[in-house]
Each structure stands twice: as C-alpha cells, then as structure tokens.
Amino acid sequence: MLSAYIPLLVFLAIVLAFGVGITAASNLLGPRHPTKAKGLPYECGIVPSASARRRFAVTFYLTAMLFIVFDVEAVFLYPWAVLLRSTLHLFGLIEMLVFIALLAVGLAYVWRKGALEWD
C-alpha cells in the first residue's frame, strides 16, 4: 500500500529541517575573524606545497567498478531470498545456486587477476 510511505515523506521534511537548521545556526553563531593562515588547509603546520585536486591511485576506481558489479548481483538475491521459502522451493534453489556459482567464479577471476591487491 502506497499510503504506508506517507510518514516517510513527513520524516524526510523533519530531517531536512534539522540539517538546514543546524547548518544555518552554525553559520550565524560564533565569532568570525578570518586570516590568511586560517584559510590554509591543514598540513601539520607547514605551508601547503600543491593543490589537493590531484590524481589518486587507480585502485580506488577499480574498487568502485567491482562494487557496482557485485552489488547489482546482490540486488538479485533479495527477491529470491524473500520468495524461496514460500513459493520457489527446490527449483529456485538450483537456479540461484547456478547464479551464485557464476558470482563466485567472477570473484575468483578478479582475485586471480590481482584486482584486489593494494601495492
């Protein structure tokens, strides 16, 4: 029933008001004496050497790609998990075991290829 979701909208409004309220309060209250040194990013006391907008290790990117692949596969597990007990039974079990086997083969492949290594 869609009406069960109405409280969520109300709660979303409350949470938004909370976030905006605290942010606004913290912007308005408190002293403000900006100096040049205060505006520098923290780097243990030395003057920052270069911009922080720089390249980063490709492994992070790789992790994100692997995450998308495996997480989408995890999504397929939920409807199956809900229905297995009541409707799917043995047929659904075998179907999903094949799917999970493919998932495991994918993981093994990624593992062998060294995509999970950080060096």
Pick out residues in 33-72 that bind another protein (CB under 8 A): 33-34, 36, 38-44, 48, 51-54, 56-57, 59-60, 63-64, 66-67, 70-71
Beta strands in the chain (DSSP E): none
Minimum gap (Å) between residue 119 Cβ and another protein? 7
Indicate which single residue of 45, 87, 112, 114 sits in contact with another protein (rule: CB under 8 A): 87
**Shortest Cβ 28–another protein spacing (Å):** 10
Residues 10, 46, 47, 58: which binds another protein (CB under 8 A)?
A: 10
How far apart are alpha carbons 97 and 92 in whole angstroms? Answer: 8
CA pair distance 83, 96, nearest whole angstrom: 12
What phi-psi label fits residue 30: left (phi over 0), alpha (psi between -120 and 50 degrees) or beta? left
| Position 114 contacts another protein (CB under 8 A) | no
Q: Is there binding between residue 113 and another protein (CB under 8 A)?
A: no
C-alpha pair distances (Å), 38 with each of 9, 30, 34, 48, 98? 40, 15, 6, 12, 59
Pair 109, 115: CB distance under 8 Å: no
109 contributes a contact to another protein by CB under 8 A: no
- Among positions 45, 47, 58, 78, the unique one binding another protein when judged by CB under 8 A: 78
